[in-house]
């Protein structure tokens, strides 16, 4: 047994990093074991739960080798996983010990259900109390033979052939969804999982990156049996948002604090706490957004703030299910009442988190009442240090440590060693930003040696936003980044030419902040907005109404705000057709070859097939091309959509059969202007029209190749202008001055 002793102290300040995301690490290990080849996993967190998965895989015959690092950051390490392929696991010689990790047990159950051997999954008494039928029963419907113990572990899994099945989950659960998808790798037909709300999508992202035939359509995920081996992973795991949550709340509550958590994962299925804290009034800024390991990341800066009570329920609950203990601590200091509902799942976590959070915060003086599916907290309430218990729940232990930072006197947390289950470096990192923690600390047996505290860097200057006088009608661009966009120059030139008191501004929105930006637009009376990468799909759940074309394309690029309602449109498809026809090409009855299968390609394919042009999609990842083609085939478009098979190269195609080539990739975009998606060695038919969606530079290398071949060359600026003109008319009801908008864009590109 160990204790953690906390005293209130000075403000928390500095820049820190948290260990790699536990959820992603589990999945990287499991899928790396099923891949054909060696997977490289960097930033692996040496926490108890992930080490349980590692040990179970070794017991199944998977070779996992750590790569020595002279400076392991935050206890992270690099692992080499020698994948054994889908059918190469070895039967274990003893029960597989999942220790206290529910993720390990539930996801492994899905994999083991399709193996040709029997396995037993067990764990610590805490894990054996957690419900398992939520995953066992849908697996049984796929043909799995699993014996449970009164609905709990130990589980005996007798592997056997599985059948594809269509599952409708009663409750959104990433673990159940992931177990079913992993079992679906061994099924004889498609596995479909329908969710009632958003849940973590790390498994889907990883399967797609490995080439699995998986389709994600809003809340439905469909996986077909793989035709090819899973490709090995090369992944750097981003920082764990659930670990960062304790630092973010601590800095919000301790007066004078300012902390930046760097390189943290901001997958929107995980960042419900960010939205809730911002709604409560927290001062939170995201910067330096990017992508790591196929996951969005950013630096999250939080400053001490006054909070107000709110109600948390519905889909938000799933997006922050692990953060409720520390949210409860924040709510004790918020003005008013905070109510949490729809969170009955908390009853069956590492502890009954409703009962234990209520009991321990009451011991500190909080006014908190349990509800069947949540709790009610009245604040602000002064807290008083005392002796409390973690109940062997790592997240409760860390939440109580945060409470100790704002309590009067000394707070002693019993059974604190469980913190190592998810965040072994918690005490070290907190000591790096605060002098308030000292402990009689026992590192759990088998855990790694923690490195020295990181260097604290000087804070960066915060971003300052321009404001406009109230009478001005406002529209803007939501994206990240947005500083490079031509849209403000294009639209503001149009407003000026027509003498309209409107302004088009930039709305830089890091991943995870979409809902906050949309709320701000409504509060500040915006008339609408454009949406660019990476948010064209992320805004969809927040729309009150979506146009048919936007729904079919699966992306929103224009929002009209009417009487407080957000109406999502997509003008990309019509903008592309207008520009194509402006260039003298009528698509009806023609054949097009589209390069790419991303967001831009979706709009182009929808536009062309809807206008009567047959489309073939060529993409270096054939599965994505096939997914896009299948999706468009379901839209009832006028002409067929196909994809180029994996065995076919561009040189194998009968190029003379096509009339139009569209580059819907970013190849050739500044600053890589010398690149082209078309090989120099392959002659280009002279009767072609070649349309490059890239508009910066205006003359791309692909267009130069087309002109040299005698083909018609059309740049992407026309599509930008025409889609913008359609958005302009939706917002204002006025015909857009297209030539004014074109001149503004050309001037910007020339300068």
H helices then E strands: how many in the chain? 23, 36
Q: Residues 548, 587: contact at Cβ < 8 Å?
A: no
Q: How many whole angstroms separate alpha carbon 205 and alpha carbon 688?
A: 36
Is residue 322 among the annotated active site residues? yes
The one-character DSSP state at 454 is P
The position carrying tokens 């070794």 is: 58
Can you tell me the distance from the alpha carbon of 439 to that of 416, in angstroms, rounded to the nearest whole number?
10
- Which tokens go with 56? 């179970």
Taking the C-alpha atoms of residue 379 and residue 238, their distance in angstroms, rounded to an integer, is 34
For residue 651, with 0-12 CB atoms within 10 Å meaning exposed, 13-18 middle and 19 or more buried, which class applies? exposed
* 367: β partners: 378
Report the candidate in 450, 478, 625 with the shortest Cα–Cα distance to residue 540. Answer: 478
Query: Across the strands, what pairs with 223?
Result: 191, 214
CB-CB neighbours of 689 under 10 Å: 21
506 beta partners = 477
Helical residues (DSSP H) of 477-571, grouped into ranges: 487-497, 514-523, 548-553
- In angstroms, the CA 37 to CA 596 distance is 27
Helix (H, G, I), strand (E, B) or coil at 240: coil
| Nearest-angstrom CA–CA distance, 713 and 290 | 33
| 628 neighbors 659 (Cβ within 8 angstroms) | no
Strand 545-546 to 565-569 pairing: parallel
The one catalytic residue among 240, 322, 393, 572: 322
DSSP states of 426-444: HHHHHHHH-S-EEEE--PP
Residues designated as active site: 322
């Amino acid at each position: 047994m160990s204790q953690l002793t906390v005293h209130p102290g000075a403000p928390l300040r500095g820049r820190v990093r948290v260990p790699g995301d536990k959820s992603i690490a589990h999945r990287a290990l499991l899928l790396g074991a099923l891949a054909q080849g060696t997977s490289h996993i960097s930033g692996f967190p040496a926490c108890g739960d992930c080490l349980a998965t590692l040990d179970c895989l070794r017991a199944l015959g998977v070779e996992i080798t750590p790569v020595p690092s002279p400076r392991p950051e935050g206890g992270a390490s690099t692992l080499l996983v020698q994948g054994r392929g889908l059918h190469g696991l070895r039967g274990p010689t003893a029960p597989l010990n999942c220790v206290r990790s529910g993720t390990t047990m539930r996801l492994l159950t899905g994999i083991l259900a399709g193996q040709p051997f029997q396995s037993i999954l067990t764990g610590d008494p805490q894990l054996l109390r957690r419900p398992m039928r939520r995953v066992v029963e849908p697996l049984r419907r796929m043909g799995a033979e699993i014996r449970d113990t009164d609905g709990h572990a130990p589980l005996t899994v007798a592997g056997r052939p599985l059948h594809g099945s269509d599952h409708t989950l009663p409750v959104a659960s990433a673990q159940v969804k992931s177990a079913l998808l992993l079992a679906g790798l061994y099924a004889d037909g498609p596995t479909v999982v329908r969710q009632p709300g958003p849940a973590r999508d790390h498994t889907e992202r990883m399967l797609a990156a490995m080439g699995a035939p998986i389709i994600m359509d809003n809340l439905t995920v469909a996986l077909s049996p793989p035709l090819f081996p899973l490709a090995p992973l090369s992944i750097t795991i981003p920082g764990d948002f659930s670990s960062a949550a304790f630092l973010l709340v601590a800095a919000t509550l301790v007066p004078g604090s300012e902390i930046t958590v760097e390189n943290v994962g901001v997958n929107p299925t995980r960042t419900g706490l960010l939205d809730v804290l911002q709604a409560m009034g927290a001062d939170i800024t995201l910067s330096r957004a990017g992508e790591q390991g196929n996951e969005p990341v950013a630096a999250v800066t939080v400053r001490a703030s006054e909070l107000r009570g709110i109600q948390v329920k519905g889909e938000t609950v799933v997006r922050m299910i692990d953060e409720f203990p520390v949210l409860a601590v924040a709510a004790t200091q918020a003005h008013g009442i905070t109510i949490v509902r729809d969170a009955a799942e908390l009853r069956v976590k590492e502890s009954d988190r409703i009962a234990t959070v209520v009991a321990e915060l009451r011991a500190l003086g909080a006014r908190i009442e349990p509800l069947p599916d949540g709790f009610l907290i009245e604040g602000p309430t002064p807290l008083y240090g005392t002796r409390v218990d973690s109940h062997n729940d790592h997240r409760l232990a860390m939440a109580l440590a945060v409470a100790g930072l704002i309590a009067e006197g000394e707070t002693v947390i019993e059974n604190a060693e469980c913190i190592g289950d998810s965040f072994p470096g918690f005490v070290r990192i907190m000591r790096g930003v605060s002098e308030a923690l000292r402990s009689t600390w026992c590192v759990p047996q088998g855990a790694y040696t923690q490195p020295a505290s990181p260097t604290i860097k000087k804070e960066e200057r915060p971003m300052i936003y321009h404001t406009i006088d109230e009478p001005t009608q406002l529209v803007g661009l939501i994206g990240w980044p947005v500083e490079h966009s031509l849209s403000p120059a294009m639209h503001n030139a149009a407003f000026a030419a027509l003498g309209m008191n409107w302004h088009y501004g930039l709305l830089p929105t890091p991943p995870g902040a979409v809902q906050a930006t949309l709320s701000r637009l409504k509060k500040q009376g915006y008339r609408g907005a454009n949406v660019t990468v990476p948010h064209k799909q992320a805004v969809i759940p927040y729309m009150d109404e979506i146009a048919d074309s936007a729904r079919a394309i699966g992306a929103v690029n224009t929002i009209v705000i009417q009487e407080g309602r957000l109406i999502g449109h997509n003008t990309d498809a019509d903008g592309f057709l207008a520009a194509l026809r402006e260039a003298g090409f009528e698509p009806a009855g023609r054949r097009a070859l589209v390069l790419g299968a991303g967001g831009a390609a979706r709009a182009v394919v929808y536009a062309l097939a809807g206008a009567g042009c047959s489309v073939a999609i060529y993409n270096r990842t054939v599965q994505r091309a096939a997914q896009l083609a299948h999706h468009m085939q379901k839209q009832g478009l006028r002409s067929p959509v196909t994809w180029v098979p994996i065995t076919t190269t561009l040189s194998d195609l009968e190029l003379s059969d096509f009339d139009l080539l569209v580059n819907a990739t970013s190849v050739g975009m500044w600053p890589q202007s010398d690149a082209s998606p078309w090989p120099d060695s392959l002659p280009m038919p002279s009767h072609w029209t070649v349309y490059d969606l890239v508009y910066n530079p205006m003359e791309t290398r692909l267009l130069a190749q087309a002109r040299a071949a005698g083909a018609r060359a059309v740049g992407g600026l026309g599509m930008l202008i025409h889609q913008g003109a359609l958005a302009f008319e939706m917002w204002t009801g006025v015909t857009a001055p297209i030539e004014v908008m074109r001149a503004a864009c050309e001037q910007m590109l020339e300068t």
